[in-house]
Amino acid sequence: MHELSIAMNIIEIAAEEKDKAGGGAIQSVELEVGTLSGVVVDALQFALEVSVKGTVLEHAKIDIHPVEATASCNRCGLSFPVGDLFTSCPHCQSFDTRLVSGGELRFRSFILE
C-alpha cells in the first residue's frame, strides 16, 4: 500500500530533521494531507501506527491536517472548491482544470522537547 511507503518517508524525514535540529525527543508532528492527494488519512494513520515502533516517532503525537481542495479553470480562470477530480467549472463548464490545493502531502512541522 502506498500509505505505508509514505509513512516510511515521514519517519525518515523526521529522523533527518531531528538530527539537523540537534536531537531531542519528538513530541508531536504536523502533517498536511490534501483531500484529493490520493492518500487516505485513515490508512495513513494505520500505516504510521504499525511502522513507528522503534523509530524517532514512536512516542510522538501525529496530527494530520486535511487540506480542502480548490481547482482553477484553465479556460476562464475561475477558482472553485471541488470534492473530486472530475467536476467541471461552474462558470464555463470546462473540465480543463488544475488543482490549486488539495493535492498536498507535506511534513509541516514537529515539536522537539
Q: Which stretch binds Zn ion (CB under 5 A): 15-23, 38-46, 51-59, 87-95?
A: 87-95
Amino acid occupying residue 108: R
Which does residue 91 bind out of another protein, Zn ion, none, counting CB within 5 to 8 angstroms by kind? Zn ion
Look up cell 514512536; give the residue: 58
32 binds another protein (CB under 8 A): yes
Q: Choose which of 39, 57, 71, 89 interacts with another protein (CB under 8 A).
A: 39
Instruction: Tell me how far CA of residue 28 lies from CA of 33, 57, 81, 113, in angstroms.
Output: 16, 8, 30, 9
Q: How far is the CB of 100 from Zn ion (least distance, A)?
A: 13
* Cα gap 71→39, rounded to integer Å: 18
